[in-house]
Amino acid sequence: MKIVLILISVLLAMNTPMHAAQLETLETFEEVRGNCHSYGCVSDAAIPVIMHKVSQLLESVDPKKIVFIFDVDGTLTDEELPSGGLPYPRSSPMINFVRALHSLGVTMIASSAWDQFDHTVKKIRQLGLGDIFNAKGARLPTKEASIKGRRFEADSLGNIISVRDTGSTSRYYRAKFVSTFFVDDESAMKGAFPFSHVFFLDDSDRNVGQFLLDFEYFFPQQTPEAPIAFAYLLTTPLINIQARQALHKS
């Protein structure tokens, strides 16, 4: 009951009420690939729909078994490309959503594809989300790991984790599903995968595509131990005029 009350208050605070039409629209974009459900053209108006899915899961699933992976530029911020200026949040509903999930005990990861990790950490802190993603102290040395025949390197600080496939010719850190293997003292590499449900939000179709490929590589069949994944391709971010005006007034 307590969880239900928290979720209701969060939805009201977002000021984006969930309607049956929203849920129906989101479902029409769904593509099911094994245990992975992929959605395209997802706007911030669908955030209550995703929260509703989480609330249903929490009736029977330990929140620590649910992990959310958030892209940074264009997903948490309102600009797709990294810049040296002050970052602005993509939207108030998105930031409220991140904080609400954290308050429910859901595991949270921020993962950028850009090869500018220190800049990513700075953005998270400037957005006021350092506590959410445990961005304390200095970054850890780059980790290297071999997982099921593939080699990866990860830059990390708390739950800000960017992972690159060293077998790729790209310098970008697009292996965002693999960030789940570097959480919790890398327990996923040592034993059973620690999450039953994985949610991924990104504004890049290439990143979402790589997420799907990596998920299928590590969990090629629908088996009892395989997690269920939800990948959301967000619409192109809009300049957050409200956030800029609020800063100017202050």
Q: What is the pLDDT of residues 120-178, one digit of tens each?
A: 999 999 999 999 999 998 888 999 999 999 999 999 999 999 999 999 999 999 999 99
Which residue ranges in the chain fall short of pLDDT 70? 1-25, 27-28, 185-189, 247-250
- For residue 116 the two structure tokens come to 């500018």
pLDDT at 250: 45
pTM for the full model? 0.90
Express as a percent the part of the chain with pLDDT over 70: 85
pLDDT value at position 246? Answer: 75
Which pLDDT belongs to residue 42? 93
pLDDT of residue 187: 58
Alpha helices in 104-193 (DSSP H): 117-126, 187-190
| Helix (H/G/I), strand (E/B), else coil: 104 | coil
Tokens of 129: 């989300």
Task: Look over the chain and give the mean of its residue pLDDT values, rounded to a whole number.
Answer: 88
What pLDDT score was predicted for residue 179? 97
- What percentage of residues in the chain have a pLDDT greater than 90? 74
Q: Is the dihedral of CA 153, 106, 198, 11 positive or negative?
A: negative
- The pLDDT, as a whole number, for residue 26 is 72
pLDDT at 1: 47
* Cα–Cα distance measured from residue 84 to residue 220, given in angstroms and rounded to the nearest whole number: 40
DSSP H or E segment with residue 165: strand 160-165
Residue 189 has what pLDDT?
A: 67
| pLDDT at site 220 | 92
Residue written as token pair 């904080």: 99
